[in-house]
Structure 1
Amino acid sequence: MSLQDEKAQTIEVSDKTYQDEVSVIDLIANATSPPLSTTRIHRFPRMVKEPEEYEKYYVPKVVSIGPYHFGNPKLKMVEKLKPLFTKKLFSNDMEALKNLYNKLSEVERVKELRNYYEEKSTDHFSDKVFTNMMLLDGCFILYYIKFIFGEKFETCQELKSHQIVFIHQDLFLLENQIPFKVLKEVMNLIKDDDHCFKKIIPFINENIFARERPKRRWTCFRNDQSSGEEAKMELENKNSDHLLHLLHQSLTKKQNTPENDFKQTMINRCTNFIGCICFVSHNNRCTFRNVNELMDVGIDFKPSGTMSLAHIEFYKSWWFFSANVELPPITVDDSTKPMLLNLVAYEMCSCDANDSWVTSYICLLDSLIDHPEDVKNLRKAGVLDNSLGSDKEVAKLFNEIGTDLVPNSLAYLEAKNRIQRHYESWRNTLFSQLKHEYVKSPWAFFALIGASIALVLGGVQAYFSVWSPKSQCDDLCLFLKNNHRL
């Protein structure tokens, strides 16, 4: 290639590069912000998990709620029961059913409900089919809550016991939701609506895996003593998008009174800011590994008196080398993993990073649980109720769920910093070494006690040998020594 051809090629490349740069500049100059999404009921991004896991934990087993899994052949049996349950829920009041259908079929209402779902996911449904779906699904959920939830399985002859168990799980899947506004419309039109409002709160609490402890001030919250109006006002204040959102709100609720909300928010922001500075100064990492390591340095675990995952407390005990960490107690059973995964998926799709308390709590438990022995210690402390099987299975469950999760960096920051400082203390490290060497071995412990007693007695003997006062016997011994050369 001649020199002239090389120059021409260089100029051509330069011109192309310049054109590319200009096109990029034009692209940036003409860029506009994408429209804000109105989606409140998301589909789970399948590329995050394997297809087998998606089918196992995110797809309904018995009943389809909403448009995402509507028409699934495997769910046809319960789909056929929805009209029957709707009729029973309204006690054959066809006039009330017509009023409900007319309200849900209004053009603006249909558009509003469609906007809850991802774009174009409901376009293949006509307004009539979509309205029928919302009505039947809303009535099915409330029929289940009012007549089946909390009752003996034999009371529902149309469903088998194993189907009822799976229905309970299906109602809290991320992709199996309808807008909570539909449920409110249904509850406002059925007879004895107070009973529905009263039962929906206990229904949500039954699915909260953070169990309450006895003799707590909020224990009465689980019984049906509150009036329907109070339950209705509570649901209105929560302003939930759907059932899974309501469950998430109950799990992560703050323990502040309305009067102190602003004050507590400012205190939390200041605490988090100071905590961030302290955390960065400590190399931005915690070096403690699991429950056993923390117990070795004198940290005990106790169940907290709250159902909120946003509340974990660390405090010193009476002994200078010991401390306590309060964790929300949880029950682990067959439904725990699907529920946790769907709550995490909800946080990934819908929540602000600062509100991802379920994800942060799972990551905390994952960091505390490495071995079955850690699960055993949490069980003994009353923090964890193992209804799943062996402690090894529970440890495996949290280690699997916690993989690849990213917690809120400010979650439990103050408690983690105080745990780290306690863990790094030389005094607590010395206590841990003594505990390892002597307390866990009975014979070594007895040998330590014997050596300590011998050391004390030797010191006492040396003291009295040097500093004991003179006696008449001492004068006699001195006289005999001087005169008789003893």
Structure 2
Amino acid sequence: MPAMAGDDITVHVEWLARRLTQQQEDAAATEQHRIMVNTHRVSRVPGHVRIPNPDAYTPGLVAIGPLHAKDAERRLRPGNRLKMAYLHSLISRGHPDPARHLAVIQGYVRLVAAREREARAMYAAEDVDDVRAEDFIQMLVLDGCFILEHLVNVATGKEEQSLHATPFGPAQLSVDLVLAENQIPFFVLVDLISSTRLPEFDSTGYAPPVLLMKLVLYYLGGEKGRDMSEALPPADAVCHILHLLHAMVSAARTRWEPAPRIQDGATLEVMQEAARLLRRLPLLLLVPLLYPILPEERRWRASYGREDLPSASDLKRMWVWFKKARGGSSSKAPAGIASVLGPVPLAVKLAHEDRLRLPQLRIEFRTAPLLLNLMAFEQSAEQRAGAVSAYVWLMAKLVQSAEDAGVLVATEVVQSSATGSESKEDVARFFRQVGAASEAAGELEKSYLGETLQKLRERSQHPLFMMWADVQRNYFTVPWAVVAEFVTFITFISTILQTYGSFKH
């Protein structure tokens, strides 16, 4: 019933009331969904985390989801054109007749529309409230089908000429699909693959959710992707692709243990350590003589506090040996983005008598974005002591100089695409870059590395190891210094003997 206002303005009370009622019910329902998925919501990386590495969180080829959708209209147009072509090729796999394509697309739209409110809840209100329902649904259909077609192409070995026509297209896409701000709900992908005919995988017998996870992990891990899919999580517990990658990386760490020492191998190692000790025996004898004359400002206590972690080169001076954690092997080099983390990601163990085993990390242009976005996911998910953040923090503390980088490169714990002396400085610069983001995690003592950090700090505070490291760091850094100190020492002893002889005479 219309009502009259003072200035003859007609107000349709019933219509307006119904509209407000519907809007508040929709808002309440959406907010309830947001509360349910708040832990793993797709949100923008905070400014204090983004500023040091702004490009690491921004897609370079394809925008997925609403957070960078406006970029797709301008900067990412080539990637946007790929989506339409991939939608056609995905449908054509099971429906060669173009007359069937309309019905398939209608089915996709119905599936996504039925869960639109749930999908919106995966994002912050300010990122999706202004997006019309039609645009939001179309975006999820296009992005989801694009991802599925690319995963299938990689798994079946189909050449993607349009993607390869773009400079660095495949490599850049592998980065874009794991960006924290470039995700769509995993259930959208599950629904889409469940209604898509993929004759290539009919013989596998996998249920659509399982097939999807295996395709994703094969793509992310390359040949090693097969190893990553040993224990798949429930598909309905996965929020998006980055969440699945994080879950599998964390699981790989927990399953790994150092190989037991073989008796013959243990005997050989004992003999090798005895030989090392004999070679260092002269230095041990010099410690009581050289350490007392070392200036106080150059001693260990002036460089490190009790809560600090020594660098790799200083830990090496304290008889901590670095070893590469060994996992499975493959005759073919892995190509997926997760392969830069090695076969046993995040696997850090201090075991077997002062041997610190670290996973191999391959540094290339994809490594920093992968680590930074995994850490951003941990921080957005309120995992204050996340495993990736703890690992990056440890590595950044170990590698603080080119000398430290050389220690880890020599043991193959770190691999760099660069060569020569500059590569060591590049490695040190890389860890300074990613290490700054790990500092925001906090509470690292409660992480899986807490016990290891405590043991390493205890060693760095042991008086014998402190003096040992001080003498090596200050007197025996380079050969000429060794010679100079040796001459000084001989001169010092000769002076004492001459003085003693004169006094006796």
Task: Report the TM range for the smaller structure's normalisation.
Answer: 0.5 to 0.7
**In structure 1, what is the equivalent of residue 355 of structure 2?**
324
**In structure 2, what is the equivalent of residue 236 of structure 1?**
234
**In structure 1, what is the equivalent of residue 348 of structure 2?**
312
1:249/1:284 Cα in 2 relative to 1: closer, same or farther (>3 Å)? farther
Judge conservation of contact 1:204–1:246 (CA < 8 Å) in 2: no
Deviations 1:340-398 (Å, cap 9, x if unpaired)? 222222122113223x1111111111111111111111011111111256221221121
**In structure 2, what is the equivalent of residue 118 of structure 1?**
124
Q: How many residues align?
A: 364
1:36/1:89 Cα in 2 relative to 1: closer, same or farther (>3 Å)? closer
**In structure 1, what is the equivalent of residue 263 of structure 2?**
none
For structure 1, the residue ranges without an aligned partner over 5 or more in a row are 1-33, 207-220, 258-282, 318-322, 452-486
Which SS does the other structure have where 2:232 is aligned? helix
How far apart are the structure 1 equivalents of 2:92 and 2:372? 37
Judge conservation of contact 1:153–1:164 (CA < 8 Å) in 2: no
Once the 2 structures are TM-superposed, how far is the Cα of residue 246 of structure 1 from its aligned partner? Answer: 1.3
Q: Please, which moves more after superposition, 371-380 or 139-148? A: 139-148
1:127/1:388 Cα in 2 relative to 1: closer, same or farther (>3 Å)? farther
Deviations 1:412-434 (Å, cap 9, x if unpaired)? 12112222233333444465467
Once the 2 structures are TM-superposed, how far is the Cα of residue 87 of structure 1 from its aligned partner? Answer: 1.7
How far apart are the structure 2 equivalents of 1:132 and 1:161? 28
**In structure 1, what is the equivalent of residue 314 of structure 2?**
293
**In structure 1, what is the equivalent of residue 399 of structure 2?**
369
1:190/1:428 Cα in 2 relative to 1: closer, same or farther (>3 Å)? same
Once the 2 structures are TM-superposed, how far is the Cα of residue 53 of structure 1 from its aligned partner? Answer: 4.0
Once the 2 structures are TM-superposed, how far is the Cα of residue 187 of structure 1 from its aligned partner? Answer: 2.2
TM-score, normalised to structure 1, is 0.65
1:157/1:314 Cα in 2 relative to 1: closer, same or farther (>3 Å)? closer
**In structure 2, what is the equivalent of residue 102 of structure 1?**
110
1:225/1:396 Cα in 2 relative to 1: closer, same or farther (>3 Å)? closer
**In structure 2, what is the equivalent of residue 68 of structure 1?**
67
Quick one: which of 400, 414, 422 aligns to 2:459?
Answer: 422
How far apart are the structure 2 equivalents of 1:292 and 1:200? 39
Q: CA RMSD in A?
A: 3.6
**In structure 2, what is the equivalent of residue 337 of structure 1?**
368
Higher Cα Rg, which structure = 1
Deviations 1:135-184 (Å, cap 9, x if unpaired)? 11011112112214795866446742422222221111111110111111
Once the 2 structures are TM-superposed, how far is the Cα of residue 115 of structure 1 from its aligned partner? Answer: 0.6
Greater RCO structure (CA 8 Å; 6+ sep) = 2
Deviations 1:238-286 (Å, cap 9, x if unpaired)? 82211111121122226557xxxxxxxxxxxxxxxxxxxxxxxxx9943
Judge conservation of contact 1:171–1:243 (CA < 8 Å) in 2: yes
Q: Please, which moves more after superposition, 304-313 or 389-398? A: 304-313
**In structure 1, what is the equivalent of residue 224 of structure 2?**
222
Judge conservation of contact 2:217–2:226 (CA < 8 Å) in 1: no
TM-score, normalised to structure 2, is 0.63
How far apart are the structure 2 equivalents of 1:400 and 1:52? 8
Once the 2 structures are TM-superposed, how far is the Cα of residue 70 of structure 1 from its aligned partner? Answer: 1.2
Once the 2 structures are TM-superposed, how far is the Cα of residue 129 of structure 1 from its aligned partner? Answer: 2.0
| Letter paired with 1:99 | G
**In structure 1, what is the equivalent of residue 44 of structure 2?**
44
Q: Please, which moves more after superposition, 94-103 or 79-88? A: 94-103
Deviations 1:293-346 (Å, cap 9, x if unpaired)? 0000110111224656554211243xxxxx210112111111122222222221
Quick one: which of 430, 450, 468 aligns to 1:397?
Answer: 430
The yes-or-no answer on 1:130 pairing with 2:100 is no
1:159/1:235 Cα in 2 relative to 1: closer, same or farther (>3 Å)? farther
